[in-house]
């Protein structure tokens, strides 16, 4: 009997030790604050080289953390590029291994917040969700000011409070707020931090609508920018040199044809003003993190869902595979992350899923395909990958390595190839594809593109008529004509707001 009693005590003691050990491990897991911008290209942060844009809070993150100069989205199979971008982010999977429109997420693909929740995290969502309500219900256990959709005016955004049952009917909408969306979402994040009790580590995903159009912001932020002093990008063009398959789409209606220097400058000024206003709201959230004593134990990540042309190559939108539209900001700050470091490693947004799990010690689901960036960040290990692949609908394909980039177009069986030496021509101005002196580089990049298409399960065949895949209709030809009319009206309002 005494022996049984001693054994029982030993078992209880061991269980207690195990419980205490798990509690210590849980307490050691850092919080994660994930700040996500909408339509912000990589080259719009002062500390990363654009001295015309005002971003003091993002500059502090750059100074205190590690920044990736070559973080990319893989592309999209529809004009709403942000939807598949976010789906790839949430699943850690490549474009052709998800619903490539991003409108849904397969239940078999366990999302990032779900995995973090299973690993002991309190998951909290603020702002935009563009991957369907069923996927949201499967992903988060808490949230506030949730916006289901792709875009909306920056004021009086239709938002919901979190509903565990996934019931989000119109009758449950919040009373529309007169606050700007960035302020509304920052307030929600600050309130969460204020009430956070530390019972579990948190993952807070703050998905802002800015700087997506409509380019609305408080007047004082636009007043910070003198349009006359805004620089035109070196690759400004009055019009794109050929039909890329998506010339006539909502984003492109935000400026007249042909593009004028004055209107592009006005759009850039408004774009920067939205980013500066967003930066100020991020500063408020980071200040609250400091006030609560949480900053030293929190991994802070800032990123964007896709870039934007705003006058580059004669384009205004993101429905293309140029650097300005696929290259996004990506900054890490937190415990164990080197300060003041910039890296040229080639990475995808889908790498964030395994990176977060690696940093906090949570096993990955087998469905995740991305690469953890933790070894590269903390140990400054060699490059993450040697090449990258991109796709837009069934009429644009691209690949790059550390120096070269190829883009191929097939629009109604009219074929165009572009070859750029990115090291010497980062703005992709000089097409070398027809230059015999670069025939070897062209052949090598064509081979690389085909290899990557096969590796990423792309069904297109560059040697087949129409690339052997269905022609995807133009965006404006497959949506409700009333929706097209409404969005054309919004674009005209935007132009009038800019004085055109």
Q: What is the pLDDT of residue 145?
A: 98
CA distance 339 to 355: 18
Residue 342's φ and ψ, nearest 5 degrees, are -120, 140
Domain with CATH 3.30.1120.10 in the chain: 387-469
Q: What is the pLDDT of residue 71?
A: 98
Q: What is the pLDDT of residue 476?
A: 79
Q: What is the pLDDT of residue 37?
A: 98
Helix (H, G, I), strand (E, B) or coil at 433: coil
Residue ranges of alpha helices (H) inside 236-260 are none
Q: Which of 374, 307, 392 is nearest to 336 (CA)?
A: 374
Determine the CATH number of domain 30-385+473-497: 3.40.720.10
Residue by residue, DSSP assigns 30-77 as PEEEEEEESS--TT--GGGT-TTS--HHHHHHHHHSEEEEEEE--EES
Ranges assigned E (strand) in 291-411: 298-304, 327-328, 330-333, 341-348, 388-392, 396-400, 404-411
CA distance 130 to 400: 28
pLDDT mean values, one per 10 residues, the chain (500 residues): 42 45 62 98 98 98 98 96 98 97 95 98 98 96 97 96 95 96 98 94 98 97 97 98 94 96 98 98 98 97 98 98 98 97 98 98 97 95 94 97 97 95 98 98 98 98 94 82 89 92
Please state the three-class secondary structure of 69-86 as a single string. Answer: EEEECCEECCCCCHHHHH
Angle 277-82-31 from CA coordinates, rounded to 5°: 65
Q: Cβ(422)–Cβ(415) under 8 Å?
A: no
Class of the CATH-defined domain 387-469 = alpha beta
Q: What is the pLDDT of residue 14?
A: 42
Domain with CATH 3.40.720.10 in the chain: 30-385+473-497
Q: What is the pLDDT of residue 474?
A: 79
CA distance 69 to 330: 8
Q: What is the pLDDT of residue 20?
A: 54
């Amino acid at each position: 009997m005494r022996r049984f009693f001693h054994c029982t005590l030993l078992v209880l003691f061991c269980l207690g030790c195990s419980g205490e050990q798990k509690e210590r491990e849980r307490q050691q897991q850092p919080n994660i604050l994930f700040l996500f911008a909408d339509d912000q290209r990589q080259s719009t942060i002062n500390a990363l080289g654009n001295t015309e844009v005002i971003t003091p809070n993002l500059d502090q993150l750059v100074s205190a953390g590690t920044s990736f100069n070559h973080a990319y989205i893989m592309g999209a199979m529809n004009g709403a590029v942000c939807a598949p971008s976010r789906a790839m982010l949430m699943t850690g999977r490549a474009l052709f291994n998800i619903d490539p429109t991003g409108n849904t997420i397969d239940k078999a693909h366990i999302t990032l917040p779900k995995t973090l929740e299973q690993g002991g995290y309190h998951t909290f969502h603020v702002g935009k969700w563009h991957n369907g309500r069923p996927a949201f219900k499967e992903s988060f256990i808490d949230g506030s000011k949730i916006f289901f959709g792709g875009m909306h005016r920056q004021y009086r955004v239709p938002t919901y409070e979190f509903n565990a049952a996934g019931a989000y009917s119109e009758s449950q909408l919040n009373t529309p707020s007169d606050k700007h969306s960035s302020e509304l979402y920052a307030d929600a994040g600050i309130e969460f931090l204020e009430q956070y009790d530390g019972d579990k580590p948190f993952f807070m995903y703050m998905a802002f609508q800015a700087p997506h159009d409509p380019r609305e912001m408080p007047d004082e932020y636009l007043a910070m920018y003198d349009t006359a002093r805004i620089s035109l990008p070196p690759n400004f063009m009055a019009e794109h040199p050929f039909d890329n398959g998506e010339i006539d789409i909502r984003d492109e209606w935000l400026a007249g044809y042909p593009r004028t220097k004055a209107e592009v400058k006005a759009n850039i000024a408004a774009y920067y003003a939205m980013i500066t206003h967003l930066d100020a709201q991020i500063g408020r959230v980071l200040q609250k993190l400091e006030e609560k004593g949480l900053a030293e134990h929190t991994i802070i990540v800032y990123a964007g869902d896709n870039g934007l042309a705003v006058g580059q190559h004669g384009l205004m939108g993101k429905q293309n595979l140029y650097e300005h539209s696929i290259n996004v900001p990506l900054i890490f700050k937190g415990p164990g992350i080197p300060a003041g470091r910039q890296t040229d490693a080639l990475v995808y947004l889908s790498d964030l899923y395994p990176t977060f799990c690696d940093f906090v010690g949570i096993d990955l689901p087998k469905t995740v395909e991305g690469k953890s960036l933790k070894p590269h960040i903390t140990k400054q290990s060699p490059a993450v990958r040697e090449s990258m692949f991109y796709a837009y609908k069934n009429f644009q394909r691209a690949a790059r390595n550390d120096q070269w980039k190829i883009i191929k177009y097939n629009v109604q069986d009219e074929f165009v190839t572009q070859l750029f030496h990115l090291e010497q021509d980062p703005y992709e101005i000089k097409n070398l594809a027809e230059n015999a002196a670069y025939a070897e580089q062209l052949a090598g990049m064509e081979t690389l593109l085909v290899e990557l298409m096969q590796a990423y399960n792309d069904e297109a065949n560059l040697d087949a008529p129409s690339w052997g895949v269905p022609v995807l209709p133009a965006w404006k030809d497959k949506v409700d004509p009333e929706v097209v009319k409404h969005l054309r009206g919004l674009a005209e309002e935007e132009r009038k707001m800019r004085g055109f």
